[in-house]
Amino acid sequence: MINSGALTPSDKKSIEENAEILLADTPVIMDVAYTAKKLKWAASTWAGVETLIKEIGKEKPPSFTITRMGGAFNRFMAEYVLGYVLTKERSIIEVAKDQEQRMWNKKKYSHYRSLTDLTIGILGVGEIGQEVARLCNASGMTVIGVTRSQPSEEKRCPAVSQYRTTSELAEVLRDSDYVCNILPSTPETRGLLSGDMFSHCRPKKSVFINMGRGDVIDEQSLVKAIREGWICGAVLDVFQTEPLPEESPLWNLPGVIITPHIAGVCLTNQVAENFVENYKLYCENKPLKFQVDFQRGY
């Protein structure tokens, strides 16, 4: 496996002239996309593919198959969502701050909701979204799944109480206590929640959880939604610009929790398991899992 900081000129030349299979970080794959002579399959260690699509898909897709990391992040990201739902509902951060001040505010924190009374709208019900749905459903939450079109019966996740399409997004925002974005970055998803879209959250004053891609909403729209009280807070792991600039107003907005893009970390053993599973399929001339689709943008 070659990471983006370890590619030497001799490594690059060797890949270009000899490699049939390449397991590497996305920048390495981009570097040899049009010069590798024998490459048939490149396995990226990254889950996101927007950089690939932007840099090497803008003219024509490469002649070889590219796969992304899939499956490894699912449980971690589902636990991230449930963990921060509980953090919000039980005021864990506020209680910790009170403890630092030796403050005993029993009355303040004695009113909270059960997870069984809450609805979460999940934007994007792929492999990660389905794992989020399973964990939230197991905790008692009602799950609304949002997809581009209604899935067939065999593709529906049993943990999703109801499926709605992106054309029904306003209704989903109105009905959800939590709105979780796991959508990839594509022309259809960029800016999907921008403008006054979050005004539909006013009935429940939802909490927005974003661990998909930062460009689903521009910062100005998100700041406005919080200041206007359309949503009562946000848990943000991804941003349009990373690291989040120090001057961003998001750092100090009430109800906002910021994490440094760590909802789903990549562990070496999981990269290995993902690669081995696909390598067996490759050896058997079967379709590889998690193939990048340059036409669909993910």
> Which residues are catalytically annotated?
213, 261
For the chain, the three-class secondary structure string (H helix, E strand, C coil) is CECCCCCCHHHHHHHHHHCCEEEECHHHHHHHCCCCCCCCEEEECCCCCHHHHHHHCCCCCCCCEEECCCCCCHHHHHHHHHHHHHHHHCCHHHHHHHHHCCCCCCCCCCCCCCHHHCEEEEECCCHHHHHHHHHHHHCCCEEEEEECCCCCHHHCCCCCCEEEEHHHHHHHHHHCCEEEECCCCCCCCCCCCCCCHHHHHCCCCCEEEECCCHHHCCHHHHHHHHHCCCCCEEEECCCCCCCCCCCCHHHHCCCEEECCCCCCCCCHHHHHHHHHHHHHHHHCCCCCCCECCCCCCC
Q: Which residues contact 69 (CB under 8 A, 6 or more apart)?
A: 44, 45, 46, 47, 266, 270, 271, 274, 290
Instruction: Note the residue count of the chain.
Output: 298
